Amino acid sequence: MDSLAGNAPRASEKTAPPDAAPLVARVTAGFAATFGGPPASVWFAPGRVEVLGNHTDYNEGYVLSAALAEGVAFALRPLAGTRGRLCALDFGRKVELDAARPAPMPTAAWANYALGALHFVRERAGGAPRGFEAAFAGDLPVGGGLSSSAALSVSAALAFAELYGAALSPLDIARIAQRAEHEFAGVRCGLLDPISSLFGAAQSMVFTDFRTLEVRRVALPPGTAFLICNTGVKHRLVDSAYNERRAACERAAAHFAARLPHPVRALRDVSPAEWQAEKSGLDPDDARRAAHPIGENARVLQGVARLAAGDAAGFGALLRESHRSSVENFENSCRELDLAVAAFERQPGVWGARLTGGGFGGSALAFVEESRAEAIAQAVARETTRAFGRATAVRRIRPSNGARRIGD
């Protein structure tokens, strides 16, 4: 694994990599059509997929994730004065604002991710407000749980950091993107999404320790690939379900803190063996909820070791264990996710599959033999289309480089 804590996003790339090139061309053309001239710069931030480490981030644990080839491109040109103009090319909508006083717009919720990025970048950078024209678009599948919102917040934050000449680290940008979602968009997200978007690398996963915020890259073995099935089910991760599970984890951590002979600040500090030995007296539902992130933390660390050894089958087995724990312990799966995972696992060449992201809908991820990826995707698409009674999208996703400046 390569340590990345000090690395900045790549700001020197002058041409779009092949996967991002069509999106960047579309945004550049859309900007010119909207504002009557080319942008000064275009920033691209990818979406992300969670590979292993489900609901571990707020338990101060570990996650393996990957940046995707798809994401959001954000084009910007400075203006004199303090007027700001922002266009969502995918929606054909525009807003105008005073860049000196950006504020959430209840009637244009799509704009709040970028407006929050502007506000918190300028808060860090200081200096006089600067006017701008900006336009953005994305190519991430809608509703697939691949974090288009973080891709927008990150790309906007990077563009505004350049506008204000702010020297911000990748973790600074990640925190700004998170605050934009919290305080402007009203989404209580963690740091997983922006960190994954910023630190990705081709054919590698991002390992994040959410206590120390240490970030490393973990290379994938040759001949491996990921497939994803978008079930088309919108996330049922309503606030009450998320909050109930988070509260259960906090109650369990307090229980173990009172029972174990070492400090317990979060479930990250509890091993599976300690959970088994000391779960008595804990509410049974809370015990099952806690078993999931405790097991996931152990699986992430085992997964890193298995990948380093080139053990693709062993890594896939951890994905299967992860999904089983989601079903039995955390109860954050749904019928469609379970059907998609089962369809993947019936195919030759699939090492393992699981739900990805918060659960309660969204997508299922599979780790497969690269040579069989296309055949597996076609077979699973047929099975899930029959099972769901509607067309299902199954496609390959490619771990890719993180957020970057595309150029002039």
Residue 9 has pLDDT above 70, yes or no: no
- What does the H/E/C string look like for 92-152? CEEEEEECCCCCCCCCCHHHHHHHHHHHHHHHHHCCCCCEEEEEEEECCCCCCCCCHHHHH
The percentage of residues in the chain with a pLDDT greater than 90, rounded to a whole number, is: 85
Average the pLDDT over 117-145 and give the result.
Answer: 91
Residue 8 has pLDDT above 50, yes or no: no
pLDDT band per the 50, 70, 90 thresholds, residue 12: very low
Roughly how many angstroms between the first and final C-alpha of the chain, as a whole number? 33
The pLDDT score that the predictor gives to residue 13 is 43
DSSP string, 189-212: --SHHHHHHHH--TTEEEEEETTT
pLDDT band per the 50, 70, 90 thresholds, residue 6: very low
Q: What is the mean pLDDT of the chain?
A: 92
> Between 408 and 391, whose confidence is greater?
391
Average the pLDDT over 369-388 and give the result.
Answer: 98
pLDDT, tens digit, for every residue of 307-353? 999 999 999 999 999 999 999 999 999 999 999 999 999 999 999 99
Q: What are phi and psi of 37, to 5 degrees?
A: 175, 170
Residue 356 has pLDDT above 70, yes or no: yes
Cα separation, 74 vs 28, whole angstroms: 9
- Global pTM value: 0.90
Q: Per DSSP, what are the bridge partners of residue 133?
A: 77, 85
Residue 10 has pLDDT above 50, yes or no: no
Domains and CATH numbers, the chain: 2-219 (3.30.230.10), 224-397 (3.30.70.890)
Nearest to 276 by CA among 303, 249, 294, 258: 294
Average the pLDDT over 230-251 and give the result.
Answer: 79
Q: For the chain, how big is the Rg over CA atoms in Å?
A: 21
Residue 252 has pLDDT above 60, yes or no: yes
Catalytic residue at 283?
Answer: no
- Out of 139, 193, 269, 286, which one is annotated catalytic? 193
pLDDT, tens digit, for every residue of 134-191? 999 999 876 667 788 999 999 999 999 999 999 999 999 999 999 999 999 888 778 9
Residue 245 has pLDDT above 60, yes or no: yes
DSSP label at residue 155: H
The pLDDT score that the predictor gives to residue 386 is 97
The pLDDT score that the predictor gives to residue 362 is 87
Average the pLDDT over 66-81 and give the result.
Answer: 96
The pLDDT score that the predictor gives to residue 283 is 97
